[in-house]
């Protein structure tokens, strides 16, 4: 798994290469044109006249005269350039993005082209095996029938958690509800929103996370950190379907708590979905995990309505 820093370094190289390529192409065209003696003569004449002009004071009669001469010589230069098979534009670097000239930044902020590249990588690296994710704006709440108003409220709450990611004091969301009530879809919308909001996110099923815990548990000391690090350091961790994994002694609960606790300590946010009721979570994952997830001071509990909801009241 790649880290946020590695992605940033990678992108920085991608954009540097784009700039270099654009400049190289322009230089290459000029060098090709300079192979033509008439163009070469005209080119260096204009250059030397421009140099002379730079030594003169602006708006003096001499300067004006020289400017006129340069313009005249430029006409000849362009004529020769055309004969060589090039246009004026061919001698300028052509950047893929005109807004940022392939620097990736405009006024110190990430350019839309940079964000598009970043989003692609964030999606590839986030752990969900999908080429695209649903948007909140695309959700058709009609499919939820009588529950649509309540579900819409839950979707709005979840979305605002991600939209106010850096301002909210809440550290986690737990989405509770039975299979088929739209938890997974909501999770995918959240992941998409997060990626679009510049939030480096990792999605994992509880099953896969548990496998990672096991790997961590049996790994040599020097290899341990590398295994767990992505889950500790990503801006947002989404653990889907908590309760679907097989509980392993000294592994599942211990490392889940470690992850939740470390993330909370570093003010990093976590979203968990589960089919289990709060009571079942408390029973299976013990008080420490339960209190991390269901403490309303630090988290938001979203209960998705649905016919087969296994819980009756929130803890």
Q: Which residues bind Zn ion (CB under 5 A)?
A: 97, 99-100, 111, 113
7 or 97, CB closer to Zn ion? 97
Q: Give the Cα separation of 144 and 57 in Å (integer).
A: 76
Q: Which is nearer to Zn ion, 122 or 231 (CB)?
A: 122
Min separation Cβ 6 and Zn ion, Å? 21
Residue 49 or 111: the one with the smaller Cβ distance to Zn ion is 111
Query: Least Å distance between CB 156 and Zn ion?
Result: 32
The DSSP string of 197-248 is TT--EEEEEHHHHHHHHHHHHHS-HHHHHHHHHHHHHSSEEEEEEETSSPP-
* Token pair 């790649």 in the structure block, residue: 2
Is the Cβ of residue 111 or residue 276 nearer to Zn ion in the bound state?
111
Which tokens go with 157? 């709450």
Is-contact 91 78, C-beta < 8 A?
Answer: no
Least Å distance, CB 111 to Zn ion, is 3
CB of 195 to Zn ion, least distance (A): 18
**What is the Cα–Cα distance from 75 to 71, expressed in whole angstroms?**
7
CB of 2 to Zn ion, least distance (A): 22
Bridge partners of 238?
Answer: 203, 271
Buried-state track 150-175, b at ≥16 Cβ within 10 A, e below 16:
ebeebbeebbebbbebeeeeebbbbb
Closest CB 7 distance from Zn ion, rounded Å: 17
Nearer to Zn ion, 97 or 258 (CB): 97
Q: In what order do the strands lie in the sheet with 172-176?
A: 201-205, 236-242, 269-274, 172-176, 299-303
Q: Which is nearer to Zn ion, 100 or 174 (CB)?
A: 100
């Amino acid at each position: 798994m790649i880290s946020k820093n590695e992605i940033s370094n990678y992108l920085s190289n991608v954009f540097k290469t784009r700039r270099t390529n654009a400049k190289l192409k322009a230089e290459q065209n000029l060098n090709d044109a300079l192979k033509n003696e008439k163009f070469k003569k005209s080119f260096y004449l204009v250059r030397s006249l421009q140099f002379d002009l730079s030594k003169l004071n602006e708006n003096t009669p001499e300067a004006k005269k020289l400017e006129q001469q340069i313009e005249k010589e430029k006409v000849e230069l362009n004529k020769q350039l055309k004969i060589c098979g090039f246009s004026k534009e061919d001698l300028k670097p052509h950047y893929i993005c005109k807004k940022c000239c392939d620097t990736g930044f405009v006024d110190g902020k990430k350019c839309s082209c940079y964000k598009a590249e970043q989003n692609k990588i964030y999606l590839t690296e986030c752990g969900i095996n999908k080429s695209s994710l649903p948007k909140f704006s695309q959700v058709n709440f009609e499919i939820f029938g009588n529950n649509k108003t309540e579900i819409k409220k839950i979707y709005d709450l979840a979305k605002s958690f991600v939209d106010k990611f850096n301002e909210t004091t809440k550290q986690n969301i737990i989405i509770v509800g039975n299979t088929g009530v739209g938890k997974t879809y909501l999770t995918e919308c959240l992941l998409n929103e997060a990626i679009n909001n510049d939030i480096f996110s990792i999605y994992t099923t509880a099953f896969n996370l548990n496998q990672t815990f096991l790997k961590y548990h049996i790994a040599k000391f020097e290899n341990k950190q590398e295994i767990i690090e992505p889950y500790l350091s990503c801006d947002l961790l989404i653990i889907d379907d908590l309760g679907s994994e097989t509980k392993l002694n000294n592994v599942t609960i211990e490392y889940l708590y470690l992850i939740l606790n470390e993330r909370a300590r570093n003010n990093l946010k976590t979203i968990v979905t589960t089919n289990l009721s709060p009571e079942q979570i408390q029973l299976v994952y013990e008080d420490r995990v339960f209190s991390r997830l269901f403490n309303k001071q630090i988290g938001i509990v979203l209960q998705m309505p649905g016919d087969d909801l296994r819980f009756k009241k929130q803890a």
